[in-house]
Amino acid sequence: MADLNPNLPGDDRWAREALTQLAFAAVTEQRRARRWGIFFKFLFFGYLVGLLVLAWPDSLDTTAMTASAKKHTALVRIDGLISSSTEASAKNIIEALRKAFKDDKTAGVILEINSPGGSPVQSGEIYDEIQKLRQQYPKIPVHAVTSDVCASGGYYIAAAAQNIYANKASIVGSIGVRMDSFGFTDAIAKLGVERRAYTAGSNKDFLDPFKPVNPEEVKHLQGMLDAIHQQFITAVKQGRGERLKDNPDVFSGLMWTGEQGVGLGLVDALGGTRSVAEEVIKEKTIVDYTKHTHWLDRLFDETQVSLSTALRSGLGMDGMAQWR
């Protein structure tokens, strides 16, 4: 560094140089701190923007909005387990169906189903809504297209459509009801565990897995399952009508390929979403109305389900019937 004043004594010049260097260092440090401050402000702002985008309840789908400006085939996907805590819940599916039917540019609706089944209640609500919408909008056809699997509760929903199409290798059927449980009486006896359960109500420990099987309880449970099964059979017969073949195996819980399903009257013809849109509905433009649950909503729903499951277990109500 150049000597600012060569006439100053040596000690004074050294002090002056040291002060000058300290001043420059302070300025440099301030600039560096200011740059880092700006960087972190931008980073925090970007983080907030990201959170707002993720938290936005219904992000705009510009492609769907553009496509819905002309005649189109509406698509609603039912994917995975049908349950109140999944995307394939009655709430989500019904909301998507209503939106699709209300659009005056909708020429027809396709239900694309890839589900092994699930809740009888959720499946029944979707079935009833489809029937209601068909009456309300008689000029808009609704067809079900099975993907990999359309079984149990998935097929229950499909039966509400005017026609069912499948791939020749699709799995369809499984018209039945099941409830799973376990028995631990021998295990706790070997381990020397003493079961202590306190209830109010003579049947509150109904089907307790830690007590021996009670034939009367099993009989009552079987009556419940048979009643739900009959609801399923009635809905399928109502939806399929005379297309169903007179074969007792149809309602036995067995499953078939899509090709076999055609022979049994469970499926009308082989086809996929694209072919049904182009050849049956006659509108090749497809607009997806499927409602995707936001991650914040899923987190809330999963927490709610976990709490209700814990509550049911505590009250001895953990066994639930499933169409699967």
Strand pairing report for 142-151 and 106-115: parallel
Known catalytic residue at 83: no
Query: Which position among 85, 89, 119, 152 bears the catalytic label?
Result: 152
Location of structure tokens 């998507």: 96
Give dist(CA 73, CA 108) in Å, integer.
5
The secondary structure element, H or E, covering residue 108 is: strand 106-115
Give dist(CA 198, CA 212) in Å, integer.
16
Burial class (CB in 10 A: 0-12, 13-18, 19+), 324: buried
Known catalytic residue at 152: yes
Give dist(CA 76, CA 130) in Å, integer.
12
Give CA separation, 150 vs 86, 140, 248, in Å: 17, 23, 20
Query: Which position among 204, 245, 282, 284 bears the catalytic label?
Result: 204
Give the side-chain half-sphere CA count within 13 A for 261.
Answer: 34
Catalytic residue IDs = 152, 204
